[in-house]
Amino acid sequence: MSFAIMKSGGKQYRVKKDQVLVVDRIAGEVGEAVELPTSLSAREGSLSLGGGVAKVEILEHLRGKKIHVYKYRPKKDSRKKTGHRQEQTRVKVLEV
């Protein structure tokens, strides 16, 4: 069983070959292959730190679930409601 710890958007993901996952938005077109750095790779009985890459294919660009942010200051008659939707990319791991 081989896997790698892949870095994307300031986060780390444990990935295997042919795995599909959603990460923060990656620059590139749908169908394009992109290389992302890995911090750790594990293959049959061996472990290597850093320097590797994981090759992923961009499947689609999407937006996450809406998050509501409500600011309220008591006794100040101050209320503010805003929302946010995170830009995301669905990728498929081609090579670890």
The reported pLDDT for the residue numbered 43 is 79
The reported pLDDT for the residue numbered 2 is 84
Instruction: Round to whole Å and give the CA distance between 68 and 85.
Output: 9
Rg of the chain over Cα atoms, rounded to whole angstroms, equals: 18
Total domains in the chain come to 1
The reported pLDDT for the residue numbered 1 is 63
pLDDT per residue rounded down to tens, the chain (96 residues):
688 999 998 999 999 999 999 999 999 999 999 999 998 888 777 888 877 899 999 999 999 999 999 999 999 999 999 999 999 999 999 988
Q: Model pTM?
A: 0.82
Instruction: Provide the domain limits for residue 12.
Output: 3-95
